[in-house]
Amino acid sequence: MERTLVLVKPDGVQRGLIGEILARFERKGLKVVGLRLLNVPGPLAAEHYAVHAGKHFYEGLVEFITSGPVAAVALEGPDAIATVRRLVGKTMPNEADPGTIRGDLGISGLRNLIHASDASDTARAELKLWFDEGQLLDYDRAIDAWIVAED
């Protein structure tokens, strides 16, 4: 099993697309193991986008991600990172394939609805950045607890 981070950016939250986006991942068989709705503080945004510091679009990324609420989602499943990246589509919505989240729902460049971790090391680091220790659900343990509670 693999875990990855998805952020539904302020445009997706403002347009009421959190449910639609999460449903696509769940229909594909991925499990939501963490979910937070938050206004992103500047330091968190800066750390999240640190890899882009100094690039011409860095300030715009930080400004946009802090402009409104974000849904931070931890997903789990086999090959979760690659699966999520395929479902999300190319960065620019006008270049994303139909059937992808950005291809179907995206409008423009930076306002492309969603962020998804691009590799396992990135996913691990981003999940630690957005979720504290113990905030992610362990489904195996949760299922065992449900079975015991029903007996």
Residues marked as catalytic: 115
* Measured distance CA(8)–CA(145) in Å, rounded: 30
Tell me the residue type at 147: I
Between the alpha carbon of residue 90 and those of residues 62, 106, 108, the distances in Å are: 20, 10, 12
Residue type for 89, please? G
Residues with Cβ < 8 Å from 102, sequence gap 6 or more?
Answer: 88, 89, 90, 91, 92, 93, 96, 112, 113, 114
